[in-house]
């Protein structure tokens, strides 16, 4: 084999190696993106394991609790309040009957009073409540509308007056997922402090 043949073989081997490395790299990136997509999906808390949530899974004026960021331990029912969120499908009179993501809201279960008492959603009243101090939040924006926190904050517009929220989307398989949040008082809010409206 002459020098020209050796060079051609070396080029072909190098090109083949680069192609194989590129394909492996692309596959790894695709697998990582898929894992990130699954991690970002809303994982309903239940005793029977992982349960991703689709728009069609919730009726108007209903809720499901979920963990964010998702830890992978989908069988536990208790989650630390800082990682516990309420996914609300709004009531019909608040456009909760639309078949798109605008019908949904996700709020952290900790209110704006620093005391970390968890919130619950009451469908019959169409409000979120914190039982200990009576703080009441409306479900469209998570704005504080009554209770101890409201009276403490109503004169000071610089204090947070809405719940920390997550922005949501729908993936290509119809599952609800969490968009990467910015935990800042003027963006998604700060857990335990809330956000400004």
| Residues 63 and 117 grouped into a single domain | yes
- Residue 124: which CATH number? 2.102.10.10
Number of domains within the chain: 2
* pLDDT above 90: percentage of residues in the chain: 38
| Residues 69 and 11 grouped into a single domain | no
| Residues 101 and 60 grouped into a single domain | yes
| Residues 16 and 65 grouped into a single domain | no
Summarised one tens digit per residue, pLDDT across range 61-81 is: 999 999 888 876 644 556 778
Summarised one tens digit per residue, pLDDT across range 116-129 is: 778 999 999 999 99
In the predicted model, what is the mean pLDDT of residues 28-32?
A: 54
pTM of the model: 0.78
Rounded to whole angstroms, the Cα distance separating 178 from 169 reads 6
| Residues 12 and 92 grouped into a single domain | no
23 pLDDT more than 90 = no
**Which residues pair with residue 118 across a beta bridge?**
110
The domain of 116 spans 55-178
Backbone angles phi, psi at 27, to 5 degrees: -65, -40
């Amino acid at each position: 084999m002459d020098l020209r043949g050796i060079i051609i073989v070396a080029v072909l081997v190098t090109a083949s190696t680069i192609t194989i490395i590129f394909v492996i790299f692309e596959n790894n990136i695709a697998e990582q993106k898929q894992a990130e997509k699954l991690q970002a999906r809303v994982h309903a808390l239940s005793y029977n394991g992982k349960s991703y949530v689709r728009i069609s899974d919730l009726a108007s004026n209903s809720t499901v609790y979920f963990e964010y960021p998702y830890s992978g331990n989908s069988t536990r029912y208790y989650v630390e309040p800082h990682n516990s969120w309420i996914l609300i499908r709004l009531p019909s009179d608040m456009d909760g009957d639309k078949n798109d993501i605008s019908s949904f809201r996700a709020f952290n279960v900790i209110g704006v009073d620093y005391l970390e008492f968890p919130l619950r959603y009451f469908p019959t009243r169409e409000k979120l409540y914190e039982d200990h101090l009576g703080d009441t939040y409306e479900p469209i924006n998570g704005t504080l509308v009554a209770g101890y926190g409201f009276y403490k904050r109503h004169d000071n517009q610089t204090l947070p007056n809405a719940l920390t929220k997550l922005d949501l989307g729908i993936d290509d398989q119809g599952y609800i997922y969490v968009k990467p949040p910015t935990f800042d008082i003027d963006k998604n809010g700060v857990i335990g402090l809330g956000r400004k409206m």
